[in-house]
Amino acid sequence: MVKQNKAYKFRLYPTEDQAFLIRKTFGCVRFVYNKMLAERKVAYEKYKDDSEQLKKQKLPTPAKYKLEFEWLKEVDSLALANAQLNLQTAYKHFFSGQNEFPTFKSKKGRNSYKTNVVNGNIMLFARHIKLPKLKMVRIKQHREIPQDHIIKSCTISMTPTGKYYVSILTEYEKEIVQKESESIVGLDFAMSELYVSSEGEKANYPRFYRQMVGRLAKAQRVLSRRIKGSARWNKQRIVVAKLHEKVANQRNNFLHHKSKELTTQFDVVAIEDLNMKGMSRALNFGKSVADNGWGMFTTFLSYKLQEQGKQLVKIDKWFPSTKTCSNCEAVKDISLSERVYACTCGVNLDRDYNSALNIRNEAIRLLALV
């Protein structure tokens, strides 16, 4: 039996007082994080050339600020403790070279905070959830959480449109039986289609952002003419935010369905380990790459395959899948404008389909080495 984690996200309907306290907690978490970061930054500038002294510098705790700022006691203490843990994690990633130096949190960023289960402070009831400081909050629970799932923590968040959500992280035990690699599919990233598979299938991604771009442009023009901070400006800001939210929801729904379809049908899914950020900058395809949500799609694929004892195989990004003939394995240069791969051996295939075949063949080779 292996311990697994799974999160369930539900809509919250807090009262005005509860919503005010939630927003206050967002602000307090951001305040504590930024205060701790400011102190840490001073210590880093002072001792950055002396690693031993830098390691000895202790991160301040939220309790220190509660003496000076009494209003911090009004919000969930576990939320403030998690802000400290988040900063510690950011520093570890910085020193290990994974990320850049931590930055200060902005009011314009994502509004959320995390709280943990301690002595029954979080409990789920019919139509309500008990949360620290908030007590009983109305919830729309559209699906049941299995009884063998133990609640570990909750993340409360607010969207730019003013909707509140709770993401309940659960832990459960499951026996995962590794499946035999009988059916294997290769996916080649396609800018307009999301992917083309080695089975010849195209995802036919509807490009939700491109469909909405006209309405978004019109709504944003209206917003730009409003006086910032006024009631009319705020009303129009919500109109723009709702359009963005709709696009995000449509994209998530499509990617969930496609990833579910692939994980049900195949034992192994092979993809290229692409640097999407670098690709969008180098090729000026920022909007198209962001609209596709390829990174989100691969995340969905990964955990859905893992739950079923199946595999996601990532092929090295330098593997010449586009330049290689899927039949004779000859390699030749091919420009971005060439949409058909023609080889001297007689192969005449769509370039994306040819790449998908190469990705599948490389995955078969790598699995044979294991």
Q: Which of 63, 97, 91 is nearest to 77 (CA)?
A: 63
Q: What is d(CA 133, CA 3) in angstroms, rounded to the nearest whole number? A: 30
352 among known catalytic residues: yes
Indicate the helix (H) or strand (E) that contains 82.
helix 77-95
Residue 263 token pair: 């994980």
Q: What is d(CA 10, CA 137) in angstroms, rounded to the nearest whole number? A: 12
Q: Is 79 exposed, middle or buried (0-12, 13-18, 19+ CB in 10 A)?
A: buried
244-to-118, 239, 247 alpha-carbon distances in Å: 36, 9, 5
Catalytic residue, candidates 76, 272, 291, 362: 272
What is the bridge-based pairing of β-strands 184-190 and 268-272? parallel
Identity at 200, one-letter amino acid code: G
Angle separating helix axes 16-47 and 77-95, nearest 10 degrees: 30
Catalytic residue, candidates 76, 188, 267, 362: 188
Residue 172 burial (CB count, 10 A): 16
Angle separating helix axes 294-307 and 231-265, nearest 10 degrees: 40
272 among known catalytic residues: yes
**Are the C-beta atoms of 69 and 79 separated by less than 8 Å?**
no
**Are the C-beta atoms of 252 and 208 separated by less than 8 Å?**
no
Query: In this structure, what are the phi and psi dihedrals at residue 358, rounded to the nearest 5 degrees?
Result: -65, -40
Catalytic residue, candidates 76, 267, 291, 352: 352
What is the bridge-based pairing of β-strands 150-158 and 164-174? antiparallel
- CA Rg, the chain, in Å? 25
188 among known catalytic residues: yes
* Residues that are catalytic: 188, 272, 352
